Chain A
Amino acid sequence: MKNTFGKNIIPTDEDKRLEEVYKYAELNGSPDAYFNEMAFIIAKCFSAPIALISLVGNEHVEFKGNFGLPQNTVDRGASLCSLAILDSEPTIFTDATKEPCLLTNPLVAGEFGLKFYAGAPITTKNGHHIGTVCVVDKHPRELKVEDIDLLKSFAGSVIRELEYRLILADATCE
């Protein structure tokens, strides 16, 4: 994993966190239809060109819900979601070009031209951040407090959905 942020992006609970990531979902590169639809709603809510529901794995960040991006996986060292899972509160870059830690990031500095990122962590009931619900734009933006709450509520919906699926998986195993 090539870290482009110039700082540690591995959280202290990494082992247990990864355990939970794989408990909830298979990281096989394929998105989930339900979460794709949810990403559409999120993008619509924020009038953003891109909205993602990501899970942060060992090497890659995988988008289980993807609205607006052609690929479903990004290197963990380049994805801003890796930063967002370090904090229990949403991570927001209103203008990424002004953030020192993002200067070498290929998404920001490269052709894609990422300017705005807001990501709320998806937190399991054990307190581990397995991924994010995030909104991305190519223009700098400001977010209101209620917008941040909205993003958090979507993250809540995602973990609830994953929990429900886990119950199903357990029931099937019995």
Chain B
Amino acid sequence: MTVNQVAPQSLNINTRFIKEYNRPDVGNWQYDVLNQKLFWSGRQFEIYGYKPGSVRIEPDYFISRTTHYTEVERINAIIEKAMLSGNDYNFRRRIIKGDGRIGFVETQAQIFRSPAGEVTKIIGLTIDLGNEEAERKLEYNDPLYFNTLYKDYKKSIYNEIYQFVYDERIAEDLCQEVFVKAWNNIWMYDPQKGKIYTWLINISRNHCKDYLRSKCHKNNKDNVSLHDCSYKFSNDVHDDYHSAELKDVLKKLPAALAEVTQLLFIQGYTQEEVARLLHIPLGTVKTRSRQAILYLRTSLALN
């Protein structure tokens, strides 16, 4: 009688891993790399929401069909790295179960190599994390996926925020804050309710509304420039009293005179300031203001 398989070499299997592997609530799997065959235990099927043996498990099934699409890239990168280095690996990820529900699992795997260094087998286990606490921790150690998300969407999110605040510096700050918010709450994202971009846009809109209502924003408003302030003040006054009448008269003024009148009598600038603003000599400002007054006096008297 002869032995038909090569005897395993020294004990290099992690006993802690095996203890987990045999835990009743843990699903396990073996991947025969050379023959491209993947085997799932009954519990593994159950964790993934299938009846044992009810689906044919293809080798690529494990990642492409069960991993939530937002995480495929991150998971593939981890596995690729492990295959190259030959080191054991583990990761947490969001899965899509057979019935379409979302689940959270931790995968631990050990890689076996032939004496020539070729990866021959991978054995692994799957722990169902299912509870909220585990979900919260899901992304903490895996920033790779989030980096991609940030790169892809920061411009769109920034533009969206800018529409609210019209200030580059504030928009940039808010954009950062939106991504921090998303990072901390990624576990709340449900792909069945919409795309990740929509989710981010909603966060940014809410964040902008919060900001506009905030004390910080109100304080900033106290520091707006004199120009904006005086303009607003003047507008408010005339809106309340003779705005309609005055607007009609101003419309009749030649453009050059109207401009000076607006700045001098409505926004309250001095003649020197108007000269500086419009880049015209002080004398011209005085002449135009006199002409405007005469014109207005005549018009109003006629009215």
A interface, CB within 8 angstroms of B: 33-34, 37-38, 40-41, 43-50, 67-71, 110-112, 146, 150, 153-154, 156-157, 160-161, 163-165, 167-168, 171
Contacts and interface: CB of A to CB of B under 8 A. Distances in A.
Given A34-B30, A37-B30, A69-B3, A163 B8 contact: no
A154 B45 CA distance: 19
B298 interface: no
A151 to B, nearest CB: 10
Contact of B39 (A33, A50, A111): A33
Contact of B22 (A69, A153, A164): A153
A156 B2 CA distance: 30
A171 B51 contact: yes
- The secondary structure that dominates the A interface is helix
Contacts of A164: 41-43, 45-46, 52
Interface of B: 1-5, 7-13, 15, 18-19, 21-22, 24, 28, 30, 32, 37, 39-43, 45-46, 51-54, 112, 121, 123
A70 B24 contact: no
Nearest to B30: A37
B13 A45 contact: yes
B81 to A, nearest CB: 23
Contacts of A46: 11
B39 A44 contact: no
From A41, A43, A68, residue with most partner B Cβ within 10 Å: A41
Contacts of B45: 164
A167 B52 contact: yes
Contacts of B24: 156, 160
Given A44-B8, A44-B13, A168 B51 contact: yes
A45 B39 contact: no
A69 to B, nearest CB: 7
Given A37-B30, A46-B11, A160-B42, 5 more contacts: A37-B32, A37-B121, A41-B21, A150-B18, A165-B42
B30 A47 contact: no
A84 B18 CA distance: 23
Contacts of B5: 67-68
Contacts of B112: 44
A163 B13 CA distance: 27
B78 to A, nearest CB: 22
A157 B28 CA distance: 10
A165 B53 contact: yes
Contacts of B4: 68-70
B25 to A, nearest CB: 10
Contacts of A165: 42, 52-53
Contacts of A44: 8, 11-13, 112
A41 B42 contact: no
A37 B39 contact: yes
Contacts of B46: 164
A41 B15 CA distance: 11
B51 A41 contact: no
A150 B45 CA distance: 24
A33 B37 contact: yes
A161 B41 CA distance: 6
Nearest to A110: B1
Contacts of B10: 47
Nearest to A167: B52
Given A156-B24, A164-B41, A164-B45, A41 B13 contact: yes
Contact of A45 (B11, B30, B52): B11
11 contacts: A37-B39, A44-B11, A47-B9, A47-B10, A67-B5, A153-B18, A157-B21, A157-B22, A157-B28, A164-B43, A164-B46
